[in-house]
């Protein structure tokens, strides 16, 4: 579309240049300028707006490329030819391009120097009264938008988001090819993967009782391509996962810039991705992008300082541990937590001591809403420490806190006391909330970081050792670590790339050794037969000379979402599903004919509740 969107560079539009007299158009609605004056032209598009002066009628005609004003004089035969000049009707005009007199030039339009005086008119497709305004990007009921997605997509905001998406993907391909990658396709109908999210299943007609699964990612295929000697693979890969929606997670399907590199180290993967991401974010946004190389933060440090493995580095606040200072203090609530093995985390926030009582009360309410028992704080005002808990603390304890937080007059320290894991989670949430409420988060920058050195294993709820990420990752110390280290201390060559607190992707150096694979699974409680049964292709392929390889798969939708400055991923997807994974336009998922079920050897057994409801309807 023609309109610049603030905070984003104007997308580059494709060129349409048809100059011969054509059935529908000689020019687009974004194309005509002063140099076209006196030419006879034909344009087609949608009626964006109508200004009927009783005599002369002005119509703004809109297409993909822009807006052009068409003038209809009362003397024209078609002046009264149609009953309504209804917006969103598609229509074709033939006429002369004339220069507008200086007073009537419209500087807001690229075509504002000229207008077309219509000689002929043809209605191409009449529009009913539209359910919401297309010409105006105002908030609108989400259900309605999804039901009339074809109209929603005509609107400036969505339309330009999808142009941006197309341009970003085109550039991705260029950059990947320039980095020596080749694009390949992998199957959509494949086998169910044993771990990960829930699969979408497709029943087989030929093999009763057997199912295909849609790939959650082309993970195993790309590793197989590495063993097949393709050196650098990429794909704009559709991924299907049956998981519940979030603002940054569309249900059902999404796209990854999937890539894998043979004979590659972690640093090789970082180098390629830094090149691609830095160029994409620099070229498609006006925001400042971190210089290369991006910061690398070990997982444990990230958890320690930010309480999360996807920190928003725009937020300058950090968590600090101050358990020892409170261990023997007079504030029994905190001392008690430390005595029972918990921790006290603090966040030092500068310059907010003069905030209102309501600010601090609201922060406590927020902390409680994310599971905190409370939120302590100390305020330094006019050389005094003010706080409900100050009277329980000695001067020495307060001095040590002041030293830890590097705070002084006008500053505040917040405290969260809980079991380590809970305090970390709450700390992360409080850190974010403080960042927002204190307006510490710059909105004109993209801050990237790599999170590295993820643990290979973690304990599940029942205290059993399990893979903490994917089982294909290479343990950092190889067989030596697997044999000799406490599993929970083993690190993996596993990494995430994070931008402004959004996890763009996980990746890893893969475990390409059958022996290491068997041992790694053994530690997680699976014997060799499980590896053979669950990953037959990879396990077999790795017996025949597998190259060391590594990869990653940044989320395309999330990248575009960040570039488009959209808070919701639906705004960068042409036909998204709603939160309940329904396509309201196409009516998916839907019921199918009995014949289809019979062919697939399927019978439907509904949950009791659904069965009752359907009975009531019938």
Partner RNA sequence: GGGGGUGUAGCUCAAUUGGUUAGAGCACCAGCCUGUCACGCUGGGGGUUGCGAGUUCGAGUCUCGUCACUCUCGCCA
Binding positions for RNA, rule: CB under 7 A: 49-56, 58, 60, 69, 71, 73-75, 83-84, 86-87, 100, 103-106, 108-109, 112, 115, 129-133, 135-136, 138-144, 146, 193, 195-198, 216-217, 219, 241, 243-249, 467, 469-471, 506, 568, 570, 578-580, 582
CA 222 distance to own-chain centroid: 23
Q: How far is the CB of 55 from RNA (least distance, A)?
A: 3
Q: How far is the CB of 386 from RNA (least distance, A)?
A: 31
Distances (CA, A) of 423 to 271, 343, 347, 404, 417: 35, 7, 12, 18, 6
Q: H/E element holding 331?
A: none
Q: Which is nearer to RNA, 214 or 378 (CB)?
A: 214
Q: Which is nearer to RNA, 96 or 204 (CB)?
A: 96
Q: How far is the CB of 348 from RNA (least distance, A)?
A: 25
Q: How far is the CB of 286 from RNA (least distance, A)?
A: 25
Nearest to 240 by CA among 281, 279, 290, 196: 196
Burial class (CB in 10 A: 0-12, 13-18, 19+), 502: middle
Q: How far is the CB of 608 from RNA (least distance, A)?
A: 12
- Three-class SS state of 10: coil
Show the tokens assigned to 291.
């210089």
Q: How far is the CB of 267 from RNA (least distance, A)?
A: 21
Q: Which is nearer to RNA, 27 or 155 (CB)?
A: 155
CB 262 within 8 A of CB 547: yes
Q: Diameter of the chain by CA atoms?
A: 94
Nearest to 495 by CA among 509, 503, 507, 505: 507
How many other CB atoms are found less than 10 A from the CB of residue 341?
9
Please state, in angstroms and rounded to a whole number, the distance separating the CA atoms of residues 299 and 453: 6
CB 321 within 8 A of CB 420: no
Show the tokens assigned to 447.
């801050």
Q: How far is the CB of 524 from RNA (least distance, A)?
A: 10
Q: Which is nearer to RNA, 352 or 518 (CB)?
A: 518
Q: Which is nearer to RNA, 247 or 479 (CB)?
A: 247
Q: How far is the CB of 388 from RNA (least distance, A)?
A: 26
Q: How far is the CB of 247 from RNA (least distance, A)?
A: 4
CB burial readout 251-288, b (16+ within 10 A) else e: bbbbbbbbbbbbebebeebbbbbbebbbbbbeebbebe
Q: How far is the CB of 582 from RNA (least distance, A)?
A: 6
CB 287 within 8 A of CB 274: no
Show the tokens assigned to 298.
């070990």
Q: Which is nearer to RNA, 64 or 86 (CB)?
A: 86
Q: Which is nearer to RNA, 144 or 445 (CB)?
A: 144
Q: Which is nearer to RNA, 145 or 345 (CB)?
A: 145
CB 281 within 8 A of CB 563: yes
Please state, in angstroms and rounded to a whole number, the distance separating the CA atoms of residues 243 and 8: 31
Please state, in angstroms and rounded to a whole number, the distance separating the CA atoms of residues 365 and 435: 16
Q: Which is nearer to RNA, 193 or 513 (CB)?
A: 193
Q: Can you give 127-193 as a three-state secondary structure string?
A: CCCCCCCCCCCCCCCHHHHHHCHHHHCCCHHHHHHHHHHHHHHHHHHHHHHHCCCEECCCCCCECCC
Q: How far is the CB of 87 from RNA (least distance, A)?
A: 5
Q: H/E element holding 280?
A: helix 266-283
Q: How far is the CB of 101 from RNA (least distance, A)?
A: 7
Please state, in angstroms and rounded to a whole number, the distance separating the CA atoms of residues 548 and 539: 14
Q: Count the residues in the chain.
A: 618
Q: Which is nearer to RNA, 82 or 177 (CB)?
A: 82
Q: Which is nearer to RNA, 195 or 515 (CB)?
A: 195
Q: Which is nearer to RNA, 133 or 488 (CB)?
A: 133
């Amino acid at each position: 579309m023609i309109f610049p969107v603030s905070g984003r560079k104007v997308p580059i539009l494709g060129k349409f240049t048809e100059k011969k007299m054509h059935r529908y158009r000689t020019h687009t609605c974004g194309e005509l300028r002063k140099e076209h004056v006196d030419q006879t032209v034909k344009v087609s598009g949608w009626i964006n707006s109508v200004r009927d002066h009783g005599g002369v009628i002005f119509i703004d005609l809109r297409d993909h490329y822009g807006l052009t004003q068409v003038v209809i004089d009362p003397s024209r035969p078609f002046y009264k030819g149609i009953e309504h000049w209804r917006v969103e009707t598609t229509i074709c005009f033939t006429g002369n391009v004339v220069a507008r007199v200086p007073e009537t030039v419209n500087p807001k339009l690229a075509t504002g120097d000229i207008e077309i005086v219509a000689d002929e008119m043809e209605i191409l497709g009449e529009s009913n009264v539209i359910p919401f305004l297309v010409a105006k990007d105002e908030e609108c009921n989400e259900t309605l938008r999804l039901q009339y997605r074809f109209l929603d997509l005509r609107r400036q905001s969505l339309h330009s988001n999808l142009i941006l998406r197309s341009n970003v993907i085109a550039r991705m391909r260029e950059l990947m090819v320039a980095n020596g990658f080749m694009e390949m396709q992998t199957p959509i109908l494949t086998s169910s993967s044993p771990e990960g999210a829930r699969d979408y299943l497709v029943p087989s007609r030929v093999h009763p009782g057997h199912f295909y699964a849609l790939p959650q990612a082309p993970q195993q295929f790309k590793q197989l391509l590495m063993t097949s000697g393709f050196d650098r693979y990429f794909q704009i890969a559709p991924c299907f996962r049956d998981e519940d929606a979030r603002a940054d997670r569309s249900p059902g399907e999404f796209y990854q810039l999937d890539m894998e590199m043979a004979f590659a180290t972690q640093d090789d993967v970082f180098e390629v991705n830094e090149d691609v991401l830095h160029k994409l974010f620099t070229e498609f946004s006006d925001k400042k992008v971190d210089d290369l190389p991006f910061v690398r933060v070990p997982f444990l440090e990230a958890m320690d300082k930010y309480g999360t493995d996807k920190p928003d580095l725009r937020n300058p606040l950090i968590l600090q541990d101050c358990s020892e200072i409170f261990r023997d203090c007079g504030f029994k609530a905190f001392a008690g937590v430390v005595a029972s093995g918990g921790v006290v985390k603090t966040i030092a926030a500068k310059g907010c001591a003069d905030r209102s009582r309501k600010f601090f009360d609201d922060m406590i309410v927020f902390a409680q809403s994310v599971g905190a028992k409370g939120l302590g704080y100390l305020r330094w005002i006019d050389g005094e420490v003010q706080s409900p808990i100050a009277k329980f603390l000695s001067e020495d304890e307060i001095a040590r806190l002041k030293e830890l937080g590097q705070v002084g007059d006008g500053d505040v320290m917040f405290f969260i006391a809980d079991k380590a894991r809970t305090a970390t989670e709450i700390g992360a949430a409080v850190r974010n909330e403080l960042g927002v409420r204190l307006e510490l988060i710059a909105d004109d920058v993209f801050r990237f970081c790599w999170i590295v050195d993820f643990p290979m294993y973690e304990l599940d709820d029942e205290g059993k050792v399990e893979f903490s990420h994917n089982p294909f990752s290479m343990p950092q110390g190889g067989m030596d670590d697997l044999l000799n280290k406490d599993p929970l201390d083993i690190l993996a060559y596993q990494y995430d790339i994070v931008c402004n607190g959004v996890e763009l992707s996980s990746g890893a150096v893969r475990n390409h050794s059958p022996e290491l694979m068997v041992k790694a699974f053994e530690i997680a409680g699976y014997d060799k037969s499980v590896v053979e049964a669950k990953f037959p292709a990879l396990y077999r392929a790795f017996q025949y000379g597998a190259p060391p390889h590594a990869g990653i798969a940044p989320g395309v939708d999330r990248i575009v979402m960040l570039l488009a400055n959209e808070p919701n991923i639906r705004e960068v997807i042409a036909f998204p599903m709603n939160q309940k994974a329904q396509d309201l336009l196409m009516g998916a998922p839907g019921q199918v004919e009995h014949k289809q079920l019979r062919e697939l050897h399927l019978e439907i057994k509904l949950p009791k509740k659904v069965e009752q409801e359907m009975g009531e309807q019938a």
